[in-house]
A and B are shown apart, each in its own frame.
Chain A
Amino acid sequence: MSTPKIACIALIGRNNSPLHLHTFPQSPTSSPSTLKYHFLTHATLDVFQSRLPLKSNGDSDFGLLYSIDEELAAYGWLTNTGVKIVVVVDVGSGAGGGGGGGLGVKDGELKGTAYIRLVCNPFYELGAGGAGGGMITSKRFVEEVKRIGEGNTVITRRTAASHGVSKLKSADDMTM
């Protein structure tokens, strides 16, 4: 039985081009497994696209996009700038412990990861300025994503929620 942990965080620009993709644990770039996540996150765009008409406001939680198999599930957010955030969560290999052991992640818990929005702030300017060409290369941004991905593996539901709220608030302060 394993705790749910983030397997991959991907940021996708408004024109569906990848801005950043980080897998956990970090594997060397362009290994077959990273490529797999590329395919996975790219395919989630279908769901964004099909659900988009139902979302009236720009900044939306798309919730569970789909679970890829017994282990991985993809969750999505759409920011009001059209940037999509996809988090692939490893919910633990199967129901190894039997019963409901491996069925860990609740939506509320994952919303804790919404504080990725915090790190979006420095990059909004980037995204607005550039025509959306390349990947994000800001070191600080990469570090932050990494920290979140690794950090969330141990966050329990309650702390995640409080974390999320406080982080979100600080994010709000920053935008003010």
Chain B
Amino acid sequence: MDAYPAEFITHETPLLVLSGLGEPEIETPEYPLLEEGGFKTSSQLPPITTSAGVQLLECFQRLDASSGVWAGRAERLAKSPAFRIRAIGRNYTLPPRKATPPAPEDLAVGVDIPPTRALHSPISPLSPDSSLYPDGVISNLWLRKHQLLLPSVFACFYELYTESNDGNIQNLRDNELITSINAAKKHFSPTTGSTISASIGSDEIRSSGYRSKFAVVLMSDKSALSSPRIDDRLSYIKRSTNLTSNATFFFVPANSSAVELQQFALNFLSTLYPLAIEYYRDLSKHSRRKRNKGSVPPPTIPSSRALSQQAWNLRYEFKLGIFAEFRQEMDIAARNYETAYEKLLTEVFETTTSWSDRWTQARLLADITILRLIRCHLWGEQYTAAKRRWSAHVAHMTSILNRKGRGTETYGFAAWMSRWNKCLGELIQSGSFPVFNVSVPASPRIPMLGVGIDGIDPPAIYAPPEKQISVSERIGPQDLLHHAGFYYLKAAEFMSLRVRRAKRISVSDNADSYDLYLCPPPQEESTADHNSSQLSLLSLARREFDSRQQKRMVDSITLQIAKLKMSKAPRNENLWGEALKDLRPVARIYRKEGWWEVLEDVLWNIVQCGRNAGEGGSVVIAELELACSSVFKERKGWRYDLSRSLEGVETVKVKPTLVVRGGDVVSFRSPPIQMKILQYNTRLIVLPFTASYCFEAPKVHAGDPIISQLVISSDAHDSAAPIVFSELKISYEGNLRTILLRHTSSSPGSDSKINKVSLRGKVQEQIHSPDEPLPSPTSIKSFLVANTDLSLAPGETKIYEFSSTLREAGDAKAICATFVMYTKDFELDYMVMLDTEKLAHTAPDGGNGIWWVGEEGGLLKKNPLRAKEPGALTILPRPPKIEVTAKSAVEGELYVNEIVKIELAVENGEEEDAIVDIGLRILGWPVDDDLPSVTWISDGVEAPATASLYPLGKLSPSAPPTRRTICFPSPSRPADCAIEITVHYHLVSDPDTPIHKSVMAEMPIVNPFSTAFDFSPRVHPDPWPDYFSLEEGTGWENGKRVLGIIQQWCLTVTLYTTGGGAVVVENWELPVHAVESGGEGSVCRVIPDETPKESLFLDQVKPTSLPFTLDIQKRSLEDRSAASIDVTLVLHWRRNSLPSAPLSTTTLTVPRLPVPPSEPRVLAAVVHPSPTLTQPLPANILTIRYTLENPTNYFLTFNVLMEANEAFAFSGPKQILVQLLPSSRVEIDYRFFVFPVPREKGVRSEGGEEGGRWINPGLRVVDRYFNKMLRVSPGSEGVGVGKAGLMVWFKEVE
């Protein structure tokens, strides 16, 4: 907007002139005849210089709205007072109302001088001295008059005399004050119109005729207390000057605080503001009246050219608009401007000679009017209306210019468009509208869409259309007001258009054919430099976009800025470097997002800048990138040769060393300048070649060869020279050693595009120098070197195949390949990350890797690698070759409670001597048993038990197996154990590589004994106590008499072994642990066998029974409660196969043995015929003795009946009545004659077993009194209980 006179674009605010405050102004605004014809208000009284006065002035200055008019917009909308405040000291000159009458010699000869000359304002088009004379419409001077010279309110500040309390002096001073006030006031007293016109030039005239409001402020230095008459004096002054208290007459009491002064200033302004508005309303009325009069006022000197009626109306409309703006009535102002603009278009442009000065002024006025109009719309937040007005003006201007001949193809038009865009941008920016406010979430547009992530709306790109605009009305995208950045950007664009057009100016061109509106003539223009203004416009735009997070837009503007700097750079060498600095970050985003065509443009610019600025590094990198044919086009005639890219570039003084990491950071190093490192944050660089690394197999054993391939393929342009790397380094993570390839040029090989170079066995070991940093902390210090051809022709794929051997297990991974180029101009290290790097333009193929199969120089074939990560390798441990065998000393399962012996045999299957240790671990041991201590026996000699490893010493490969025996006791309960034997060894030649091998042997521990228990009663051989000796008892318990009836029971243990090996039980015991019974308790003892057996042989086939006879006796005869006996069976045994082995002891649990309560019972026992019989009984005679016992104290009677049976005949009582006394028993013998059963071959009779059969004698014993049948229990061997009751074993005689 600075292209226009400042007054034209100033935002109007009522003018308040403060007289008597501050210093006299040094510079007064220029105005014609101001000094000569102005009305001087002066006073002898000095301006107030007291501290209160200075403070008050400061308050006013704070409230001054002359600069930031838009800043106070909110308050203005709230009708709070805003004044442009001028403090002028004391004396002030008001602008003259009338121009001086023209001197006679100025008049053209022959013109009739009218008798009465109508004098007009010196700036009126009617006054001959005015610049507007005779047909100008309006000038900025008129605006200046109202903005700066002619106040709406003229306020005089005086100090009340309080220095002495002398009444006379006070009166004197007060009168002086009154005189001065009245003198000043007279200037602004409304006088009748006649006096104004009649007495021009007369010194008598005192009033200026301006209707500015007048106010007086009195300040006192002393308070009313010290100066008691102060109120009287004030009212006297007020009366004498005819002023109204608190309306036009104000008093600032002494000793007012800063807050009070501020408050006074505010009150003062608010009181005066309506007056000021009224003042401008009066002016509006005046203008409107003149407009409505509809006649052209007569000029001071008649002229042939004069302003037309329409033009006068335009002038009035414009003035009305301005006055409305003073009153802050923007909508009214907008209407006036609309009318004025229309009149301009329809009248002035058409009637004024085209391209004349007046026509140009009209253009200026049109611009100004529209600008003010836009401002009015913006004030009301009618953004779309504002933007439409702006666009419409462009359209009008375009059409007018086209019609008037010079058209829009001129640099002048471009200049105007640029300016016009910039003006809009500035207007938007100065308004700081809530819509475009970046920090405050103001836009009310999106509440229904919900809030964003952080609840803050994104910065508005454009203002939404107003609600007033009806739906049917079409709102185009260009009707929406965007933020200022867009307009600055457009302004810059037009500026560059202007530059381009200016370049086309030829020297011979006539200035008349150009549109020179606010532009220099062509000759000047063609040499003018608009670069800086373009730059500043772009910077403005960039700032706006940047604040709205339009980063990509910012980058594209930065690119434009850089290009501008480059175009200027031939004259200023530094600009190359500056442009380069701009370009580098710009390239980043395009590279990141893959906008190759744009990036290409940027990169070429970088090359140019770098070459000129001497930044060799940038050149090399950019050229490296540009060689990439898959995304960049080949530039015709460009020499694509990276190694010679800096050839002939003299600006590069320092040989650049570039370290480019494919990952994140690229650093520049220039060794001579003390390792100055510039951060060059390029995410990744587009490479004209790709590198990939694969292992043939994802898993390999230590010691086996590891075969891998590095594949590099070129993507350079066909015309490019082959890239020759000086070195190529592959770094690994893990145990693999870094491989360094050095270039040696070889004879040109085949023309094939795919070449394989086998480097198997061609690498040599070298040691890293200690000061060199390792590529990875886990890397190994030594590395492998090979010499090979490292050149890569365009489109060529080279496969380097390596083979290496690793001795240690672990993971390895190829991390990065570093391509190194040393040329005489630069050094380049480019690291390609092999593990994570996925270059943006490498086309992903189905497989994860490719393995090239084929001979060097021969036909090559691709095989896909399906490994998840082809660049990673797992090295499995070396397979151990030591053989371990473990063999138990016994066959079959191991038994509990025995000594386990395991024989180990270790044989060295390696090719050389090995130092071997053996570790043992027993797994699955029962939890509540302690782990056994293991004894090692070497050749019959026991070695002391070792905590960890048993050293076996050196084993040579050819030696026979080394044997050892380990011994340990087995647990006391069965368990599924296993023994793990681990051989730790290392070869004598390679002590660093521990190798281990584990052998796991199953070791089930079983209980060898399987038992069945039978607990049945027996007839005690001893007589029962009789009634006569009952008191003596049978007592054999430690001094205490035991009186109960002794019962005999027999526990029959049937033993057999379940293990593989037969067991010999040498000895056994049945310790009684507890006897549980009610009453007074019981005692129990085991009756030793009369004929102890020597030993029992147990195998899986034949069960062996082991009877134990137990006597149980209650302590009391009366005690008939049930009892139970807890016993265990302790066996001392050995394996039958190991007769010399020590006995093992196994304790077997026996179920609790129940003794039922003492009740009458019947026991059946087989009575073997006495050997003393003279005549043996026939073979099928069986004698059964039934014993009826009555342990109770009752007299019991039993019916005894032997049932008839098919299987036998019997002798004995068929049916008898048995009467039993208390505690007595009776025996009844039966003799059975068992019928022989004819045996059919192969058919076993029912109940028959080998060697005999069971017969079921049915003896019914019924308690007569209780009518209860007694069960018959077995009372000896050979008697059992079956399904049909009692069974007796009959041994068949063949």
**A43 touching B550 in the complex, CB below 8 Å, given contacts A94-B395, A131-B844:** yes
**A133 touching B458 in the complex, CB below 8 Å, given contacts A42-B552, A45-B552:** no
Q: A16 to chain B: which residues have CB within 8 Å?
A: 592-594
The CA-CA distance from A70 to B487 in the complex, in Å, is 11
A64 touches B480 (CB 8 A): yes
Q: B477 to chain A: which residues have CB within 8 Å?
A: 64, 66-67, 73, 89, 91, 105
Using CB atoms, name the residue of chain A closest to B421: A69
B167 adjacent to chain A (CB < 8 Å): no
A169 adjacent to chain B (CB < 8 Å): no
Using CB atoms, name the residue of chain A closest to B600: A30
Q: A89 to chain B: which residues have CB within 8 Å?
A: 477
Binds A, one of B26-34, B362-370, B446-454: B446-454
Q: B450 to chain A: which residues have CB within 8 Å?
A: 54, 56
Interface code A23-40, partner B: CB below 8 Å = 1, 0 otherwise? Answer: 000000010001100110
Q: How many whole Å from B22's CB to the nearest CB in chain A? A: 49
Interface code B455-473, partner A: CB below 8 Å = 1, 0 otherwise? Answer: 0011101100000000001
Interface code B549-561, partner A: CB below 8 Å = 1, 0 otherwise? Answer: 1111100100000
Within 83-129 of A, Cβ neighbours of B (below 8 Å) are at: 89, 91, 94-96, 98, 100, 102-106
B391 adjacent to chain A (CB < 8 Å): yes
A80 adjacent to chain B (CB < 8 Å): no
Using CB atoms, name the residue of chain B closest to A89: B477
Q: B493 to chain A: which residues have CB within 8 Å?
A: 69
The CA-CA distance from A134 to B628 in the complex, in Å, is 14
Q: B552 to chain A: which residues have CB within 8 Å?
A: 42-43, 45-46
Q: How many whole Å from B587's CB to the nearest CB in chain A? A: 13
Using CB atoms, name the residue of chain B closest to A131: B844
Using CB atoms, name the residue of chain A closest to B553: A43
**A47 touching B550 in the complex, CB below 8 Å, given contacts A65-B461, A67-B477, A131-B838:** yes
**Residue of B396, B476, B838, B843 touching A91 (CB-CB under 8 A):** B476
A66 touches B462 (CB 8 A): yes
Q: How many whole Å from B647's CB to the nearest CB in chain A? A: 28
Number of interface residues of B (CB under 8 A): 54
Number of interface residues of A (CB under 8 A): 45
Using CB atoms, name the residue of chain B closest to A45: B552
A54 touches B457 (CB 8 A): yes
B398 adjacent to chain A (CB < 8 Å): yes
**Residue of A39, A69, A94, A100 touching B598 (CB-CB under 8 A):** A39
Interface code B487-519, partner A: CB below 8 Å = 1, 0 otherwise? Answer: 000100100000000000000000000000000
Q: B549 to chain A: which residues have CB within 8 Å?
A: 46, 49-50
B1141 adjacent to chain A (CB < 8 Å): no
Using CB atoms, name the residue of chain A closest to B390: A70
A38 touches B842 (CB 8 A): no
Q: How many whole Å from A9's CB to the nearest CB in chain B? A: 16
B1232 adjacent to chain A (CB < 8 Å): no
A51 adjacent to chain B (CB < 8 Å): yes
Within 1083-1130 of B, Cβ neighbours of A (below 8 Å) are at: none
A18 adjacent to chain B (CB < 8 Å): yes
- Of A34, A49, A94, A133, the most chain B CB neighbours within 10 A belong to A133
Q: B593 to chain A: which residues have CB within 8 Å?
A: 15-17, 42, 45
The CA-CA distance from A34 to B601 in the complex, in Å, is 12
Q: How many whole Å from A50's CB to the nearest CB in chain B? A: 4
**Residue of B398, B461, B598 touching A38 (CB-CB under 8 A):** B598
Interface code B390-403, partner A: CB below 8 Å = 1, 0 otherwise? Answer: 01101110110000
B597 adjacent to chain A (CB < 8 Å): yes
**Residue of B446, B462, B478 touching A69 (CB-CB under 8 A):** B478
Q: A46 to chain B: which residues have CB within 8 Å?
A: 545, 548-553
Within 542-598 of B, Cβ neighbours of A (below 8 Å) are at: 545, 548-553, 556, 590, 592-595, 597-598
B693 adjacent to chain A (CB < 8 Å): no
B598 touches A42 (CB 8 A): yes
Q: A134 to chain B: which residues have CB within 8 Å?
A: 841, 843
**Residue of B399, B458, B478, B841 touching A54 (CB-CB under 8 A):** B458
B597 touches A53 (CB 8 A): no
Using CB atoms, name the residue of chain B closest to A130: B844
B841 touches A103 (CB 8 A): no
B479 adjacent to chain A (CB < 8 Å): yes
Q: B480 to chain A: which residues have CB within 8 Å?
A: 64, 67
Q: How many whole Å from A139's CB to the nearest CB in chain B? A: 19
The CA-CA distance from A89 to B590 in the complex, in Å, is 24
Q: B476 to chain A: which residues have CB within 8 Å?
A: 67, 73, 91, 100, 102-105
The CA-CA distance from A62 to B593 in the complex, in Å, is 21
**Residue of A53, A66, A100 touching B486 (CB-CB under 8 A):** A66
Q: B590 to chain A: which residues have CB within 8 Å?
A: 42
- Of B454, B461, B548, the most chain A CB neighbours within 10 A belong to B461
B213 adjacent to chain A (CB < 8 Å): no
Q: How many whole Å from A77's CB to the nearest CB in chain B? A: 15
Q: Can you identify 22 A-B contacts, CB atoms within 8 angstroms?
A: A30-B633, A38-B595, A39-B556, A42-B590, A43-B553, A45-B593, A46-B545, A46-B551, A50-B549, A50-B550, A54-B446, A56-B450, A67-B476, A67-B477, A69-B493, A70-B478, A98-B396, A105-B476, A106-B474, A130-B844, A131-B844, A134-B843
* A interface with B by C-beta (< 8 Å): 15-18, 30, 34-35, 38-39, 42-43, 45-47, 49-51, 53-54, 56, 64-71, 73, 89, 91, 94-96, 98, 100, 102-106, 130-131, 133-134
The 10 nearest A-B residue pairs measured at CB: A17-B594, A73-B477, A103-B476, A53-B452, A50-B458, A46-B550, A67-B477, A16-B593, A43-B553, A53-B453
Apart from A42-B556, A47-B550: 16 A-B pairs, beta carbons within 8 A = A17-B594, A30-B597, A34-B597, A43-B553, A46-B552, A46-B553, A56-B450, A64-B477, A67-B482, A69-B490, A69-B493, A89-B477, A91-B476, A95-B395, A96-B395, A133-B844
* B interface with A by C-beta (< 8 Å): 391-392, 394-396, 398-399, 446, 449-454, 457-459, 461-462, 473-480, 482, 486, 490, 493, 545, 548-553, 556, 590, 592-595, 597-598, 601, 633, 838, 840-844
